[in-house]
Amino acid sequence: MKELNSIIIAFAALQDNPESVFLATIVNVKGSTYRQPGARMLMSSTGNMVGTISGGCLENDVFEHTRVSMPDGKSIVVTYDTNADEDIIWGFGLGCNGVVDVLIECLNPDDPLNPLIFIQQCFNNQQCGIIATVFGVEGEVNVQVGARLILNADNNVNTNIPESALNQVLIKDAQEALKNQCSSFHKYQFGSGEVNVFMEFIQPPFNLLIFGAGRDSVPVAEFAKALGWQVTIFDCRAMEATKGRFMMANEVILTRREILYKQISMNENSIAVVMTHNYFDDLEILKLLIPSNLIYVGCLGSKQRTQRLLTDLQKECGEYPPAQLQKLYAPIGLDIGANTPEAIALSIIAEIQAILTQRNGGFLKDRNQPIHQITQVQEIFIEK
């Protein structure tokens, strides 16, 4: 997320320069690869690069394609097969045993289908969206590589794909992808050929609400910002010095527990960590957070303290449904033997990341399934 933010910022800065700007995006992978579909790299014609699409092996070669393979400015897809013996000959030395398809396109800042502009809109509006990008065309089909359809959270559609039959099925699949909040690959077959599409789910940055402004909250905020999340600090002691301590935060709210309910703003991208070190503050905060629609609420403290909090809460508020209590993680964090503020912050952020990606936080060496989620290729025949 942080990398994508850096790319968007760099693109905005380059719009004032006369040089051409290119975007490389991984649109398909097979086997083991370092980066996954959706990874991007921004390049200027003078060689400035922001972002990565590999461990540093492919970037220079991709840049060379912008110089020698795109004289007409049309989008191209370059395939890197790291299974092939030629990998050693060409000197990439990727060693990932996979295949990577990279879409390279010349960006137009005035193009309404510019993916970076759409992603920035999703981020600014805190809304999800879908980018459906054509990365493969075989046979006689009136569609070009790099053509796309975008769908925002309000179901507004924009497309430059001339095939009306393809647009109709793309809209349906994009709406389904938006509902399921997942990316996927699709193969659309015509009588005269086929079209491969990467259906990319765009997720705005998560907003981490940190309740508590002690020194142990600082590394939690720093780790979250390193991941590109938004961070809001709530200081129930209302100390002005807190603003200086949390310069990295997007917002610092000085408050008291009695008025906190007036100042909290939560949406589907919000997650919360409670670490005030004040029992009565935690009690009031959890009253607001447990019944909310947050998918994660973490609370610092021992099991005994947590049980006491729940007992007092349920005496005052009644029994909570199991689904509401299931999102409460207390004691907070993964079991990594953390003792210092930095290690504890690491365990907290790692636990949140695991919850957001629906993983259990175990050792990868014990995982029997692929490390990365493999999306199924859907094949659909379209009659014209």
pLDDT tens digit string along 51-71?
Answer: 999 888 889 999 999 999 998
What b/e readout covers 147-176, taking b as 16+ CB neighbours within 10 angstroms? bbbbbbeeeebebbbebeebbebbbebbee
CA dist 339 and 345 (Å) reads: 10
- Locus of tokens 């960590």: 273
- Residue 271: CB partners within 8 Å, gap ≥ 6? 206, 207, 208, 209, 294, 295, 296, 297, 352, 356
Is the pLDDT confidence value at 47 over 80? Answer: yes
Q: How many of the other CB atoms lie within 10 Å of CB of 79?
A: 11
Residue spans of alpha helices (H) in the chain: 2-14, 59-68, 86-90, 115-125, 164-180, 217-226, 241-245, 279-289, 303-317, 322-326, 341-356
The total number of residues shown for the chain amounts to: 384
Structure token pair of residue 221 = 């905020």
Q: What is the mean pLDDT of residues 323-352?
A: 96
Residue 82 has pLDDT above 80, yes or no: no
- The one-character DSSP state at 384 is -
When pLDDT is cut at 50, 70 and 90, the band that residue 350 belongs to is very high
Q: Looking at the predicted structure, is the pLDDT value of residue 26 above 50?
A: yes
* pTM, 2 dp: 0.88
pLDDT greater than 90 at residue 280: yes
Chain segment 148-172, per-residue pLDDT in tens: 999 999 999 999 999 899 999 999 9
Q: Fill in the DSSP letter of residue 191.
A: T
Please write the tens of the pLDDT for every residue from 176-201. 999 999 899 999 998 888 999 999 99
User: Is the confidence at residue 89, as pLDDT, over 50?
Assistant: no
